[in-house]
Amino acid sequence: MPDPFTPTTQQPTSRGTHVACIMDGNGRWAKRRGLPRTAGHTAGEETLAEIVRAAAHRNIAYLTVFGFSTENWVRPPSEVRHILGLHRRLFGRIDELNANNVRVNWIGRPFDEPGARTPGPVQKAIRDAINDTKHNTGMVLTVAFDYGSRIEIARAAQRAQTKRPTKEINADTIAAELYAPELPPVDVLVRTSGETRISNFLLWQAASARVYFTDCSWPDFGATQLDEALALLTATR
């Protein structure tokens, strides 16, 4: 039986829209309310669940979210533990994901490669979510966890050269070795909380994306802001 964790390379017949989100501002959202940073992350996880539902209902084909970066491990241990627990809960929303016909995907440093830091319980939650939603045919939700785009691109170039030592390495051969080569280019990249950076997220995949910056913190991000981001596509066609 094939490993359910292995990403599929099957291409959709119609690519559809790919939205990517940098979910920023959870800690500042909590601070403004006199709450601990962990409360902001909890609120942000609930917002993500709402955005997954909203995106699925808008027939968005791909939603990719920046869950946890390779740089986030330097945060206070208590905050990291809380975020890890929230990700286990996120990947555990199987009934809700299946009800919305959402298929789960993941990108990040492979668990068995040097430098990978995803804890065993989170690995299991990721594997289970991928397996338990693999038959869904709707939106693909990709969570970037222990992810950094520079590491991804460098790894892809190294793998491409190893596999084709006598051939030219070009954009196509590198793209084929990305964490999830089946993911299409990003159409709209969302960054919340007033920051105007893309913070080492999907640098390769978002090369031609429209970018939606908003002062709205991630816990306050909703369907209205999602529609504003999607409007960038119709405004430029």
Residue 12 confidence class, pLDDT cut points 50, 70, 90: very low
Residue 236 confidence class, pLDDT cut points 50, 70, 90: low
The residue ranges of DSSP E strands in the chain, in sequence order, are 18-22, 62-69, 103-107, 140-147, 188-191, 210-213
Residue 6 confidence class, pLDDT cut points 50, 70, 90: very low
Are 24 and 146 in contact by the 8 Å Cβ rule? The answer is no
Q: Is 215 helix (H, G, I), strand (E, B) or coil?
A: coil
Using the predicted structure, report yes or no on whether residue 112 has a pLDDT greater than 70: yes
Using the predicted structure, report yes or no on whether residue 222 has a pLDDT greater than 50: yes
Which residues are marked as active site? 24, 72
The pair of three-digit structure tokens given for residue 13, joined into one six-digit string? 């017949």
Answering whether pTM is above 0.85, one says yes
Residue 235 confidence class, pLDDT cut points 50, 70, 90: confident
pLDDT per position as a tens digit, 68-77: 999 889 888 9
Predicted local confidence at residue 15, as pLDDT:
67
Average model confidence (pLDDT) for the chain? 90
Burial track 58-72 (b if 16+ CB lie within 10 A, e otherwise): eebbbbbbbbbbbeb
Are 234 and 212 in contact by the 8 Å Cβ rule? The answer is no
Are 67 and 143 in contact by the 8 Å Cβ rule? The answer is yes
- Which residues neighbour 100 within 8 Å (Cβ) at sequence distance 6 or greater? 52, 53, 56, 57, 138, 139
Query: Stretch 14-33: mean pLDDT, rounded?
Result: 91
Query: Stretch 37-66: mean pLDDT, rounded?
Result: 95
* Residue bearing the bigger pLDDT, 200 or 13: 200
Give CA–CA dist 24/46, Å, rounded. 14
| DSSP string computed for 63-115 | EEEEEEETTGGGS-HHHHHHHHHHHHHHHT-HHHHHHTTPEEEEESS-TTSTT
Using the predicted structure, report yes or no on whether residue 28 has a pLDDT greater than 90: yes
Longest dimension (CA), the chain: 60
**89-93, 133-137, 146-150, 177-181, range with the lowest pLDDT:** 89-93
